[in-house]
Structure 1
């Protein structure tokens, strides 16, 4: 009996859906016909009326508010997420153009064509969303619903769960060689790192100790000791040294203590005697070594060889 009542309600809902859809399709066709007849004012009014049919059909689908104000109903559909923002804007544009045509006598061809274009877009969205949702709900309501599940399935499902759990536990208990390798690899890596650090650390300690000893030695003495080499005497080639001129007397020559003929006479040199020339005192006198001391002779009586 309950199934028969459900079937009747489904049939009534389907008939209401078909009636709404027929009225909407008729409104679209009439809008297009009025535009062809260049009755643009009536076309915009008919487009608004068709939008109102669509809005009331969507509201009746969810059982939400059913108001006489088309603007409030469109906003309610958008707030309840039954239509998108784009659909909400199109509905309002068609509504405003229809109101302008009804109350202000607008007979613009561009507005009428725009209203029909927007209406055609929303018809496609409406047919994909509203009608498919209606068909799905009618199928679900037509199916008899049983309150109980078959008792024979419960033991089978319970046993399958228990078997699955036991199998998972056995898999967890297994310890494969791969798991052992995963544990050993980090330990081996750590041991290698420690070994390398111990090899490197003694060398660095020795280098630091030797450098510290050198620094401490320099700090205490204040002098940096460097290996000394014995001085090497320059080797001179006798052939490269300039030869000194040899001075000889050309005549018997007096040796005096000062560059003057009135000074004391220290001695006399014969002609052809070699003298130790020191320097020239002036144009007339020259300085020589005589008995280990400087003495003066007339330079005009000296000649070089």
Structure 2
């Protein structure tokens, strides 16, 4: 569960808050965050966090009392045999998915040279259409993807995605963003890294009792208003809130991976809370430091000033 959440930080599609962040930025400021650009920030953060989490879980939280699991190789061998060889359909899906991922990563510096109108949405739609058009090898008359299968996808996330854009627009059009900005001017003069840390702490522990997607959707417009009020770059607080929303490790409700693992019945809430609390603390320090020191270098931005082109009415 923890590796799924941490690994999701690496890409824009790895976890819903990342995708919603990109959409809100594009809607609010007219700036597109590229897949490769996000990975330049997210991949190193994810790798470092995964290493720390592995060491903590294996050496500190649940230290291994044996060096080798009796019969472990046999269990793995049996599971591999149960999977069987890859079917032609599985190979086709793997190929298309790999090509899609490569296209997403290379779009901003390769595909735009061919056609500047190509975006990540077009790439995803083309890949999906191809799956609908390729016939199945083993099931005559069927295709790799049909609508009955597609209906099983989590389409509900699109409602939350749209809600994020609607909330962001509502904040601007209603004047709520301006009002919040006025109220938050009292934070001017406080150390920026302290404000960033407070945002990360707030979102992490708020996410423990709410959905991470819902939390991020609610927080992005507020963070954009706060950034403008205290004259800092909005990416700093928005990314802080978005990444923090995926770094809640204590309770099942916090993230989908937590809920799935808890639903297996092998873990109790006290087990997750005990292991997750210290990982939350690690996340607070790691996310805050990564945004404060690494993000400005890799994206060539000044976190301590609000860009003029981002000014809103």
- TM-score bracket, shorter-length normalisation: under 0.3
Rg bigger for which structure? Answer: 1
Structure ranking higher in strand proportion: 1
TM-score calculated relative to the size of structure 1:
0.19
TM-score calculated relative to the size of structure 2:
0.19
Structure ranking higher in helix proportion: 2
